[in-house]
Amino acid sequence: MNKKIKWIQSIHFKIPMLFIFMLLVSLQIIGAYFIRQLETKLINNFDTQMSLNLRFLENSLQPVLIDGDEELKESSIQNILQDYIGGDFLEIRVVDDRGYILGTNDQTRQSMIGLKSTDRDVQQAMLLQTDRKYQYLNDDRNSRVWKTVSPIFTTDNTGELIGAIVMESNIETVYSQIMDIVTIFLNASVFAIVITVLLAVIISRGLTRPISEMRTQTANIARGDYSGKVMIYGNDELGQLADTINDLSSKVKEAQETTEAERQRLDSVLKHMSDGVLATDRRGRVIIINNRALDLLDLTQEEAIGKSIMNVLHLGNTFTFRQLLEIQKELILYPTGEETDENILQGEFSVIQRETGFISGLICVLTDITEQEKIEQERRSFVSNVSHELRTPLTSVKSYTESLQEGAWKDQEIAPAFLQVITTETDRMIRMITDLLHLSRMDQGMPQLELEFVSMNDLFGHILDRFEVMFSSEQYRDRNYKIIRDFTQRTLWVEVDQDKMIQVIDNIMNNALKYSPDGGTITCRLMETHNSIVLSVTDEGLGIPRKDLQHIFERFYRVDKARARSMGGTGLGLAISKEVLTMHGGRIWASSIENKGSTFFISLPYEEFEEEEEEWG
């Protein structure tokens, strides 16, 4: 829409136009009536005046026509008519009762005197014996002419027709008078229109100014600018409207602020939620997604917003959006859509529905259940592991016992061997159950550490001494185990639970022996870094395959189950060690090269122990 049309449609334009239109209509009506009345009046006046003249002339002519000497008649008439030359009179003719022209005041038409008049008006007036008057357009003179034909009668009782007077007068003056008045009227009208337009412009401005101010203010409100106020010019309807707009502005502002605060609150709730949240429109396109959901799905805001929830959650192959709306239960989801995904999510869906039942969107709450699933998985495998681990020794105990029952006890050679097996298996079960109890206590956070400052050099040294003594025993002598100590010179004081730490180091040393069947050198190191001490045990045994390295600290995990079991292992030693070190704020890990050997590391937090200068008096 262009500006011109807008202006034409504006009140600014319409009000003056309305005023002008109304004024023109009234002027038209008044003017038409006035001019018509004026014309009638002026013509009547003219007619009256002419009639007066006619009567006067008639009075003058009557004696001449009745008694006048025939000889002098013409000149007497001519004399009388002389007085009527000029003014509005164009021509005055006098005819006798037979229709012969007796005189005319028109000098150019003196030749007509004595001739019979051909004027039909004269004949008619004399015949009907009444006046005849009318206006006509005289082509010769090119003007409007007022023609009066009046029969003349004798003054006595007989009232005999003695002639007629034809009087033609110029009525143009009346019309020019009318024209003058019309001109004055038109001028006055133009003046009135100008004044009206000016007034209308002022009035319409008075109306449109507050209206356009209100329009600007409402446009500002629509844009979200509530700072302005509409001026109130009076207590009329417009003033009240302005007041209402100001009121509306402040109400909208308040409502906007509340909505904004609400939105911010929702934003911050969504932002800090530990669950992921997605909201879609009714077509399933994502319109809101919080940071947690982006993290869980490994997406950016741009990758998610506006996309279909079916693609974002990789559900497109399993469901349609309609089915998703109807789904009542939680779904297990995978961030990449692959079931092999390490992370597992749980999605809970709820439909956003209006009171009318119209579905306006879907909300999905995502929870990371990876850890939960892992724990659940671990719990399941733990129970099955324990059952399995106990079942094997129990089965062999049972079969040996049965053999003994069936008579083997009588055999002097077999019976002790069988009993030895039963004892070994029972011992292993007891060890396993003791270990499990240990672990279970640690799981429940039961055992408090009995911390004391110990020199790690001494502690480790003593354990190794014990092993060296053991190596010199008959059982180990042939296997040529050798221990190399590589200790730092500094004495490292750490605060540990001595018994538990001995248990850990024992376990590592025992493993080094167990899994180095051909003997070999066991290198034991003790060193320090700026904030920890590191203790390591390196053997030259079988080593641990890379894929198993990260699992050996799990409960019941063994690289080679059969062999480990035959070595009397429970599969719990390293798991217990890990728990002990976690309790100490330390760490345990391993590195290994298959068939070359393994190194187990233990680190413990360490602060340099400042020996106080002891001053004795």
Nearest to ligand ADP of 245, 574 (CB atom): 574
Q: Which stretch binds ligand ADP (CB under 6 A): 228-236, 370-378, 551-559, 580-588?
A: 551-559
Kindly write out the interface string for residues 103-142 of this chain, putting x where it contacts ligand ADP by CB under 6 A and - elsewhere. Answer: ----------------------------------------
Partners of residue 487 on adjacent β-strands: 526
| SS3 per residue for 372-390 | HHHHHHHHHHHHHHHHHHH
Closest approach, Cβ 569 to ligand ADP, in A, equals 3
Kindly tell me which residue out of 54, 286, 289, 512 binds ligand ADP, with binding defined by CB under 6 A.
512
Closest approach, Cβ 399 to ligand ADP, in A, equals 23
Kindly write out the interface string for residues 349-368 of this chain, putting x where it contacts ligand ADP by CB under 6 A and - elsewhere. Answer: --------------------
**Is residue 422 a contact partner of residue 394, using CB atoms and an 8 Å limit?**
no
- Cα–Cα distances in angstroms (integers) from residue 6 to residues 1, 3, 12, 13, 85, in the given order: 7, 5, 10, 10, 67
Q: Which stretch binds ligand ADP (CB under 6 A): 191-199, 205-213, 318-326, 506-514?
A: 506-514
411 in the Ramachandran plot: left (φ > 0), alpha (ψ -120 to 50) or beta?
beta
Nearest to ligand ADP of 457, 507 (CB atom): 507
Closest approach, Cβ 589 to ligand ADP, in A, equals 12
Kindly write out the interface string for residues 555-574 of this chain, putting x where it contacts ligand ADP by CB under 6 A and - elsewhere. Answer: --xxxx---x----xxxxxx
Kindly tell me which residue out of 76, 189, 367, 507 binds ligand ADP, with binding defined by CB under 6 A.
507
* Of residues 33-62, those binding ligand ADP (CB under 6 A): none
Kindly write out the interface string for residues 573-592 of this chain, putting x where it contacts ligand ADP by CB under 6 A and - elsewhere. Answer: xxx-----------------
| SS3 per residue for 265-316 | HHHHHHHHCCCEEEEECCCCEEEEECHHHHHHHCCCHHHHCCCEHHHHCCCC
Say how far apart CA 216 and CA 242 lie, in whole Å: 12
* Of residues 466-505, those binding ligand ADP (CB under 6 A): none
318 DSSP 8-state letter: T
Kindly tell me which residue out of 122, 366, 544, 588 binds ligand ADP, with binding defined by CB under 6 A.
544
Nearest to ligand ADP of 347, 573 (CB atom): 573
Closest approach, Cβ 545 to ligand ADP, in A, equals 9
Does 539 engage in binding with ligand ADP (CB under 6 A)? yes
Closest approach, Cβ 511 to ligand ADP, in A, equals 3
Long-range interactions of 178-182: CB distance < 8 A, separation 24+: 178/35, 178/38, 178/39, 178/42, 181/35, 181/38, 182/31, 182/35
Q: Which residue has the closest beta carbon to ligand ADP?
A: 569
Using alpha carbons only, give the angle 541, 497, 611 rounded to the nearest 5 degrees.
105
Closest approach, Cβ 435 to ligand ADP, in A, equals 8
- Cα–Cα distances in angstroms (integers) from residue 139 to residues 43, 118, 142, in the given order: 21, 18, 5
Could you count the other beta carbons within 10 Å of the beta carbon of residue 249? 20
Kindly tell me which residue out of 511, 532, 536, 603 binds ligand ADP, with binding defined by CB under 6 A.
511
Nearest Cα neighbor of 167 from 119, 201, 239 is: 119
Nearest to ligand ADP of 102, 513 (CB atom): 513
Residues in the interface with ligand ADP (CB under 6 A) total 22
Does 598 engage in binding with ligand ADP (CB under 6 A)? yes
Contacts of 36 (CB under 8 A, 6+ apart): none
Closest approach, Cβ 553 to ligand ADP, in A, equals 7
Does 552 engage in binding with ligand ADP (CB under 6 A)? yes
Nearest to ligand ADP of 322, 596 (CB atom): 596
Q: Which stretch binds ligand ADP (CB under 6 A): 53-61, 122-130, 454-462, 553-561?
A: 553-561
* Of residues 71-110, those binding ligand ADP (CB under 6 A): none
Nearest to ligand ADP of 265, 391 (CB atom): 391
Name the strand (E) or helix (H) holding 8.
helix 3-9
493 in the Ramachandran plot: left (φ > 0), alpha (ψ -120 to 50) or beta?
beta
Closest approach, Cβ 395 to ligand ADP, in A, equals 19
Closest approach, Cβ 432 to ligand ADP, in A, equals 9
SS3 186: helix
Does 524 engage in binding with ligand ADP (CB under 6 A)? no
**Is residue 586 a contact partner of residue 504, using CB atoms and an 8 Å limit?**
no
Closest approach, Cβ 565 to ligand ADP, in A, equals 7
**Is residue 11 a contact partner of residue 208, using CB atoms and an 8 Å limit?**
yes
**Is residue 552 a contact partner of residue 608, using CB atoms and an 8 Å limit?**
no
How many Cα atoms sit within 13 Å of 112 on the Cβ side? Answer: 21
Say how far apart CA 351 and CA 361 lie, in whole Å: 6
Nearest Cα neighbor of 348 from 373, 367, 370 is: 367
Give the residues lining the site for ligand ADP (CB under 6 A). 507, 511-512, 515, 539, 541-542, 544, 552, 557-560, 564, 569-575, 598
